[in-house]
């Protein structure tokens, strides 16, 4: 799949079809990324420092 040139792996390949070109364009980095969300959960064996940090995160976001 990847060709080696002088010990380095060539990660970029030119698309051979229009379909693969469209696919690679969707995988390119964007100027403005999509909004992401996170779910933070406290485990059963969490120390006090982590618990306080999670409380601070929750109060800062809501």
The confidence score (pLDDT) of residue 62 equals 67
Please name the residues in contact with 9: beta carbons below 8 A apart, sequence gap of 6 or more: 2, 3
Cα–Cα dist 20/13, whole Å = 10
The confidence score (pLDDT) of residue 48 equals 93
The confidence score (pLDDT) of residue 30 equals 84
Local structure of 5: helix, strand or coil: strand
Query: Is a pLDDT exceeding 50 seen at residue 7?
Result: no
Domain coordinates of the chain in residue numbers?
Answer: 3-30+37-61
Query: Is a pLDDT exceeding 70 seen at residue 1?
Result: no
pLDDT, tens digit (0-9, with 9 covering 90-100), for 27-50: 888 888 888 888 888 888 999 999
The confidence score (pLDDT) of residue 11 equals 62
């Amino acid at each position: 799949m990847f060709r080696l040139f002088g010990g380095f792996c060539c990660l970029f390949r030119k698309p051979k079809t229009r379909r693969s070109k469209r696919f690679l364009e969707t995988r390119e980095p964007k100027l403005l990324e999509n909004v992401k969300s996170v779910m933070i959960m406290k485990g059963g064996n969490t120390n006090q420092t982590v618990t306080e940090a999670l409380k601070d995160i929750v109060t800062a976001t809501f």
